[in-house]
């Protein structure tokens, strides 16, 4: 749609996605994104479930994982 409007990224507009999937590298230009650490999210979720199944109390608070911005040519 940007091209149809005579615009381009990043010259006229910056575009940033979220999750850093493999599709981010297939776009033209490659998409800048916020990396979502899916493996670590799954690992932490599984650990919490296993602790509950063993009757253990989950650790209080939240789990904070790093979500760096992956800069590519779209922004």
Cα–Cα dist 41/35, whole Å: 12
Residue 57 is predicted with a pLDDT of: 84
> What's the pTM?
0.71
Q: Is 2 contained in some domain?
A: no
20-24: average pLDDT: 90
4-15: average pLDDT: 90
DSSP code at position 27: S
51-74: average pLDDT: 90
Whole domain around residue 48: which residue ranges? Answer: 16-70
Q: Residue 14 corresponds to which tokens in the numbers above?
A: 């910056």
Q: Is 6 contained in some domain?
A: no
Cα–Cα dist 24/16, whole Å: 9
Q: Is 47 contained in some domain?
A: yes
45-60: average pLDDT: 89
Cα–Cα dist 32/46, whole Å: 29
Number of domains in the chain: 1
33 pLDDT more than 90: yes
20: exposed, middle or buried (C-beta count within 10 Å: 0-12, 13-18, 19+)? buried
């Amino acid at each position: 749609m940007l091209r149809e409007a005579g615009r381009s990224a990043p010259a006229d507009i910056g575009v940033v996605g979220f999750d850093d999937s493999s599709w981010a590298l297939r776009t033209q230009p490659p998409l800048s994104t916020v990396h979502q650490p899916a493996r670590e999210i799954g690992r932490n979720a599984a650990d919490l479930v296993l602790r509950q199944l063993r009757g253990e109390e989950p650790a209080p608070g939240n789990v904070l994982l790093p979500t760096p911005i992956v800069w590519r040519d779209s922004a």
